[in-house]
Structure 1
């Protein structure tokens, strides 16, 4: 495997709020789009100390897969801001899936327009099973599952992706799936919060004597 370095904000398993089933979530670091209302502003700035060798990341993914793996979701940050590293990662995931006889799907988020992705990143798109493109638009709220705004389509890109994601292209939910993860030093959310959800979370914590410090949705 090439000793490619990839800038990563965080990785988590299991993720159940960004695609079907029990998934690995990988949040790549670095984004210049700065969409107003973005809840992941901590992923915008690229710093070299957040780079890690791809073999190390793959070893972690393979360890997590021992607990059952139905999919991998790539988000960020903007994954396509690291095109070479992203392509190498996706090829490594493909090779592992084939060699191990696994059947997980690969879903990727991008804030770039679908038309630009098709034009500039076709060799990467063929390595994905599904894609959710387009910039987040806070003024276009939606109830579509796994999406932040109504302009963001869910696009299957492979037979596996068509099988798993076609039923969800227009699927709406009353409340979006959302996970809260707590460790010794921080708390973070996984999923797409709805309008006002984060303010309510902050108020809920304050009412219980928990004061949030730095938060990812405020610069």
Structure 2
């Protein structure tokens, strides 16, 4: 199977789409939006590569419900072959169940549509959130970091889940792996610093933070 540069997987995710979701963050992004909350996903490190089959095996091992899969990063559309194989595997695993695939991209939809391979990858998703993060344009809503970003439903399932008024849900959730704490979601301005202060009061000191550059 194709190799995928992977930052991490997490389950359950409730802050990046409706329902209970599996989250997959790819490694590597050359866009480098100012104010990005995930600068740790920028380096395209070959050492992070795993097979797509490994990620699909993790997905198949989940014992709880999965209403959708959110693919973020990093920049998924800079690994189109691997991500296309991943989505095909998700479709095969989900069979006839209504499991939606939501993908994030720092590219605009028009740019993705201008390249045949990337346009096909868009069409493989149920919905996409596109556009670079713009720290001077707050108010993006639950699933968008800034107001310039756009949610586009692609499939009938995507239309049903993302085509109406933007849904609301939890902004942030916490994931822990060893001595690393992950804040998952699309924060509003200053949310992360408030979360860091809450962790400090709870006795958790943050030595390095991916949103501080």
Q: Is TM-score (shorter-chain normalized) higher than 0.5?
A: yes
- State the distance in 1 between where 2:150 and 2:42 align: 23
Q: Does 1:116 align with 2:114?
A: no
Length, aligned pairs only = 211
Q: Does 1:95 align with 2:92?
A: yes
Structure 1 residues 90-112: Cα deviation after superposition (integer angstroms, max 9, x where no partner): 122122223xx321000000000
- State the distance in 1 between where 2:170 and 2:138 align: 12
Shift of 1:162: 0.4
Query: Over aligned residues, Cα RMSD in angstroms?
Result: 1.6
8 Å contact 1:129–1:161 — kept in the other structure? yes
8 Å contact 1:12–1:24 — kept in the other structure? yes
Say which SS state the counterpart of residue 126 (structure 1) adopts: helix
Partner residue, 1:4: 2
Gaps of 5+ in 2: none
Query: What TM-score results when the alignment is normalised by the length of structure 1?
Result: 0.91
- State the distance in 1 between where 2:39 and 2:2 align: 25
Partner residue, 1:17: 15
Query: What TM-score results when the alignment is normalised by the length of structure 2?
Result: 0.93
Q: Does 1:155 align with 2:152?
A: yes
The partner residue of 1:190 within 184, 190, 195 is 184
Shift of 1:143: 4.9
Structure 1 residues 62-101: Cα deviation after superposition (integer angstroms, max 9, x where no partner): 111x311100000000000111111111122122223xx3
- State the distance in 2 between where 1:76 and 1:188 align: 13
Structure 1 residues 154-210: Cα deviation after superposition (integer angstroms, max 9, x where no partner): 1100011001111244x5x5x852101223321110101111111222233334443
Taking the TM superposition and a 5 Å limit, the aligned residue runs for 1:20-99 are 20-64=18-62, 66-98=63-95
- State the distance in 2 between where 1:143 and 1:18 align: 13
